Structure formats: C-alpha cells, structure tokens
Amino acid sequence: MKNNSNKGKMTAIFCGFLLLICSQVLAGQKIHTVYFEGEENELHVYRINGTKPGKTLLIVGGIQGDEPGGFLAADFYADFLLEKGNLIVVPRANFPSILKMERKINQDMNRKFLDDDIPNYETKVVTVLKKLICESDCFLNLHEGSGIYSTEFEDEMKNQERFGQSIIADNTVLEKTGSEENINLEQMAQIVIAKINRHIKNKEHYFHFNNHRTNDPDSIHKEQLKSATYYAYQSCKIPAFGIESAKSLPLEQKVRQHIYAINGFMEVFDIIPQTPRVDLKEPEMQYMIISVNDSIPVVVGKMQHLKINKGDTVKVLDILANYERGLSVDVIGLGNQFNDMKKKLVINESTRIEAKKDFYKCGSVFLDIDSKASKAVSLLAVSESNDTQEIRYKLIINGKTKIIDNYSHLSIRRGDKLIIEDILTGKVDPSKYIVNFKGFIGNLHNNNGEDRGYVIDTSEGSLLTRYSLKKKGRQYYVLTTLNGKEVGKIFVDIQSQANEEI
Ligand SMILES: [Zn+2]
C-alpha cells in the first residue's frame, strides 16, 4: 500500500511563490492510496477532503467490468477538489474484469459482501471496500443494468424485474439505532431522480426509484443480500444506492446520467466542489521536441543534452509539461526576449533552452556544440547530463561574451559593464541555483540575491563597498548557492582606471 499525498510536497515548494493563494488550497487535500500495488487487481482509492469539513460520499465504479457508464463517470471525480465535505472515489473496483470487459473473473464481486472468504483477489478488494463503506456517510455503487425498470409490466425489457434507469435501495427507510433519526431512502432518491430526469428528453427513459425490499421474505431480489449496498445498509447503517443506467443507451448518455446522480447526491449531502478547480502544482517541463536542420524532430528530456554542430539550425516545435497553457521557451543568448518557440535559430555556441510556464522556469535542455564530430557523420545524439557538478560562468563584459571557471578571478576595469548571463552546469538545472553578486542589488522589489541578467555597473559608487573584500571596493565576489549551500564562487577584481590612483 502506498500513499501519495499529492498536495503535500509539490504544493509546498510552489507555495513559496504564492503564499496567499496556497494557504487556501493546502487546507483541502487529495490523498491517492494504492492497494495491492503491482498486482493485477491493483486498487486505486482517492480521498478528496474539502477545505471545509462535511459529509463523506463514497463513489464506487467498475465493480463489474462490463459496465463502463459507471466507472467512466466515477473516474472524473478522482480529479475533483472540494470546497466542502469529502469524497472517497474508487473508479475501478474490479480492474481485471474491466480489462476483460466481463462482469466477473472468479466470482461476481457484488455478491461477496456477506460472509464470503473464498481466497481470491475479489475477496481482498471487497475487504477494502467494506472498510471504505463504513467510513462514509453515503455510498453510491455505479452500474449499468439490462432493460429498463418499470413499476408495471410493459414488455420483456421493461418491467419490475429490470434494473436500468433506476436508483435502487434495499428499503424505503433506513432505521438508525439509538437517538439517531431514521433516514428516508426513497425521499432522498426521489430528490436526485427529479434532478436527473430534468436532463432526459425521452420520457420512456426517465429514472425511477426501485425498492428491492432486499430483506423482505417475498423479495424478488434475494441475491442482493450479498451486495455492497446491502452491506452498507445492514452493517454500516448508511444510506446506499445502486445507480443503474440502461445498458442499451449510448455510452455518453450513460456516463452523464451517473454524473447527474453523483452531483445530485453531493447536493443532498452539501458536498460542494471547487469551481474552477485550483491546483497550483509546481510547473515542470518533461520533454522538448526539437528539429535540427529541419530534420525529423527529436524528443529531448529535461536536463538532457543534444549534440549538434556549429552553425546548425534549431527549432523548438513543442514542449510537454504538466501544464498545457502559458508555455514558452527561451534559447539563451539567441532569439527574442519573449518566446523562441517555433523559431529557427542558428546555433554557433553551446547553449541552453529554457522552458517556462508563464514566468516560472520549469526545465532546461542543453545544446552542445560537438567540435569533434565531423559534419559528414552528423548523428543527432541525446544524452543524459554528466555527473560532474562543474560550474562555469557565462559573462558579458561591455557586450563581449566570456566564459570563466568556478573559483577563478575575473579582472575588469572600473566602469566596465558586467552581465552574469548564466551559469553553465552539468546535472542540476541552472535555474535552481542562486547567483549573487555581493554588493549589487539586481531586483529592488524582490531582493532574493539572484543577479543573473542584470547590467552590473562597476563605476565608482555603484556597488556597495561594504560587501567588497576588505571593504576597499576593489575586489568583489559572486557567490553561487544551491539550496542555500555554497557551490561556487568567482572573484571580480576591479582594476583602477589609470587616473584614479593619482
Ligand atoms: Zn452491475
């Protein structure tokens, strides 16, 4: 069993940027639990807790694999976020049967909730479902039924014994013990049925309440004593309903009917969805799709290197990230200052292509000029980053590019204009570092210490002398940190102009 608290780690990192918005989001959360991981009956359970406390509705789909209307509808709710109340969503209770598009594999899973310990995977899943049912305030089991339920016998496919287009309960009233009030199951179902029927054009397809009277001596549905809803009704004492779309209807209509039913029960239990859903996960680029010299595009993963030849043209065709909108790329040192997507650029020096989601940097790939490869055998090679943590600095001094090694000295003259364009690194995305010219403030509004990209004027009085070595204003340093730890430094020695000393 594995727990993935999706909002925990990811959002926490991203919240550094958006503290106000995130404090709201973190209050609600989504926990994805995987049971029987790696087995064919792997069971995925999504618990979605609203920002405000409330009732818990359990939605189970796919307990029988040949009823897609149910599990496809349930699937949408796994991605929900809630304002109030809770959902427990099991989109695919019986995954092996879904894969085979069959009602059952060893046993009908919905006939195993009464004293059945035959050792098979169905038993294991049912044990988990039983626990989830008793944790909830209401349970919906999503099905497709053959034919259409009717209180009158109309024909072979439309009569009292059919299931389709009905909300089934095991009784009209759920009798509670102790001081708790009884729950009128029929009334609850009728409220939801009215909501569903508003969306159904053909009156012949209207939903109806279908009372199985499961425990009555003359019930025609005695087999339901072994069902999940009866377990909920009898053992957990919670309202439970089978939602049945008629098998013969188009798939989309079946799914929609289930959705109207789920939404209806959510309203009844005052479970309120977030609309729109606010999920500020940290932006992350996965792949860049790049064409070199108009060739067939290659897929380059985050932090991978693409070997090219000097003078090749490179065009980024697309990027794949955990967001679809707001994406752009910047070919460092080339192209324009906004977006280099789909622009054909001639590459003469090794550089990096940075992906952004809005203004958030979300991953880079590297273009390495391969000086050894001959033009004739120019094969596109994508490689993983090398392991060295080597850092070099790409600087622009009075408009001229200069690359220098870590822990080396840069000698410039007073008044020179210096830009730390970027650092060139191996394994770690350069945007994860902070490169800080001590004694210079790049961004006055947000002095996070990051000084890449700013024009650093070294004229007398432009820098803060107290940060220079020995406070003499002659030697400054640039400190590079990763997660707050020093990983590099260069020294900037400012030579006096000839007349300064006199
Ligand atoms: Zn079914």
Q: Is 258 left (phi over 0), alpha (psi -120 to 50) or beta?
A: alpha
Check: CB of residue 185 under 8 Å from CB of residue 241.
Answer: yes
Structure tokens at 183: 């729950």
Check: CB of residue 351 under 8 Å from CB of residue 332.
Answer: yes
Per-residue pLDDT, 20: 37
Structure tokens at 200: 């159904």
Q: What is the pLDDT of residues 205-235, one digit of tens each?
A: 999 999 999 999 999 999 999 999 999 999 9
Distance 27 CA to ligand 1 centre (A): 36
Distance 167 CA to ligand 1 centre (A): 12
Check: CB of residue 338 under 8 Å from CB of residue 307.
Answer: no
- Cβ neighbour number for residue 401 with a 10 Å cutoff: 12
| Contacts for 217 with CB less than 8 Å, ≥ 6 apart | none
Rounded mean pLDDT, 489-502: 74
Distance 94 CA to ligand 1 centre (A): 11
Rounded mean pLDDT, 167-171: 98
Structure tokens at 109: 């899973």
Check: CB of residue 44 under 8 Å from CB of residue 90.
Answer: yes
Helix (H) or strand (E) holding 68: helix 68-77
Q: Cα angle vertex 462, ends 457, 464, to 5°? A: 120
Distance 419 CA to ligand 1 centre (A): 67
Distance 70 CA to ligand 1 centre (A): 9
Distance 308 CA to ligand 1 centre (A): 58
Distance 353 CA to ligand 1 centre (A): 52
Task: Tell me how long the chain is.
Answer: 502
The DSSP string of 480-495 is EEETTEEEEEEEEEEE
Distance 145 CA to ligand 1 centre (A): 6
Strand partners, 494: 412
Check: CB of residue 104 under 8 Å from CB of residue 97.
Answer: yes
Distance 90 CA to ligand 1 centre (A): 15
Return phi, psi of residue 444, to 5°.
-65, -30
Distance 372 CA to ligand 1 centre (A): 66
Q: What is the pLDDT of residues 68-99, one digit of tens each?
A: 999 999 999 999 999 999 999 999 999 999 99
Structure tokens at 126: 């049912």
Shared fold status for 2-273 and 391-495? no
HSE (CB half, 13 Å, CA atoms) of 462?
A: 16
Distance 431 CA to ligand 1 centre (A): 52
Distance 249 CA to ligand 1 centre (A): 15
Distance 63 CA to ligand 1 centre (A): 7
- Nearest by Cα to 268 from 176, 195, 174: 195
Helices 185-197 + 251-268 axis angle, to 10: 130
Rounded mean pLDDT, 455-469: 90
Rounded mean pLDDT, 183-188: 98
User: What 8-state DSSP symbol labels residue 232?
Assistant: I
Distance 30 CA to ligand 1 centre (A): 28
Q: What's the pLDDT band for 378 if we cut at 50, 70, 90? A: very low
Q: Cα angle vertex 80, ends 75, 85, to 5°? A: 120
Q: Residue 17: pLDDT above 70?
A: no
Rounded mean pLDDT, 117-141: 97
What's the pTM? 0.71
**In the sheet where 360-369 sits, what is the strand order?**
327-331, 351-357, 360-369, 305-308, 381-383
Q: Residue 10: pLDDT above 80?
A: no
Neighbours of ion ligand 1 (CB under 5 A): 64, 67, 143
- Nearest by Cα to 494 from 456, 453, 452: 456
Q: Which of 130-144, 295-309, 384-398 has the highest mean pLDDT?
A: 130-144
Distance 451 CA to ligand 1 centre (A): 62
Q: Tokens 């490179």 identify what position?
A: 314
Rounded mean pLDDT, 397-406: 87
Per-residue pLDDT, 21: 38
Q: Which of 304-318, 370-384, 402-416 has the lowest mean pLDDT?
A: 370-384
Distance 146 CA to ligand 1 centre (A): 9
Distance 144 CA to ligand 1 centre (A): 5
Per-residue pLDDT, 484: 87
Check: CB of residue 135 under 8 Å from CB of residue 144.
Answer: no
Q: What's the pLDDT band for 426 if we cut at 50, 70, 90? A: low
Per-residue pLDDT, 389: 55
Burial bucket for residue 347 (CB in 10 Å: 0-12, 13-18, 19+): buried
Structure tokens at 7: 């909002």
Per-residue pLDDT, 27: 47
Domain residue extents for the chain: 2-273, 285-383, 391-495
Distance 142 CA to ligand 1 centre (A): 7
Distance 67 CA to ligand 1 centre (A): 6
Q: What's the pLDDT band for 380 if we cut at 50, 70, 90? A: low
- Mean pLDDT (the chain) is 89
Distance 242 CA to ligand 1 centre (A): 8
d(C-alpha 365, C-alpha 332), whole Å: 11
Top CATH class of 391-495 equals mainly beta
**Beta-sheet pairing, 82-90 with 43-49:** antiparallel
Structure tokens at 58: 């359990």
Q: What is the pLDDT of residues 432-445, one digit of tens each?
A: 899 999 999 887 77
CATH 3.40.630.10 holds for 2-273: yes
d(C-alpha 319, C-alpha 304), whole Å: 14
Q: Which of 39-48, 327-336, 400-409 has the lowest mean pLDDT?
A: 400-409
